[in-house]
Homo-oligomer: A and B are copies of this chain.
Amino acid sequence: MIRHIVLFTWTETATAEQKAAVTAELGKLPDLIPQLRAYTVGADAGINQGNHEFAVVADFDDVGDYLTYRDHPAHQKVIADHIKPILATRAAVQLSL
């Protein structure tokens, strides 16, 4: 299994509406990309200080399925239209489990 993990921080000028759109648009991807075995996305719960603001955890059967998701036009469109305009920093890891 491949577990793909990404954490984001947003720009100071990002609006609540823009942040909510990232959650909503990513949430449409499991219906469009069947290679997604499990998909958890959302904003930080506010338990600790100093956290990043948003997380994506996506599970795939293998590297090929992950690459299908990574490069899928529907995913790339969410990145271009909703994530990049408000992106401050990004941290990612793929685990092979």
Q: Is A63 an interface residue (CB 8 A)?
A: yes
> A94 contacts which of B2, B48, B92, B97 (Cβ < 8 Å)?
B48
Chain B residue nearest to A50 (CB atoms) is B92
Quick one: given A7-B5, A42-B97, A57-B3, are A63 and B47 in contact (CB under 8 Å)?
A: yes
Chain B residue nearest to A89 (CB atoms) is B91
State the A residues within 8 Å of B (CB). 2-3, 5, 7, 40, 42-45, 47-48, 50-55, 57, 63, 66-67, 89, 91-97
Quick one: given A47-B66, A57-B57, A97-B40, are A92 and B52 in contact (CB under 8 Å)?
A: yes
- Tell me which residues across on chain B come within 8 A of A53, comparing CB atoms: 93
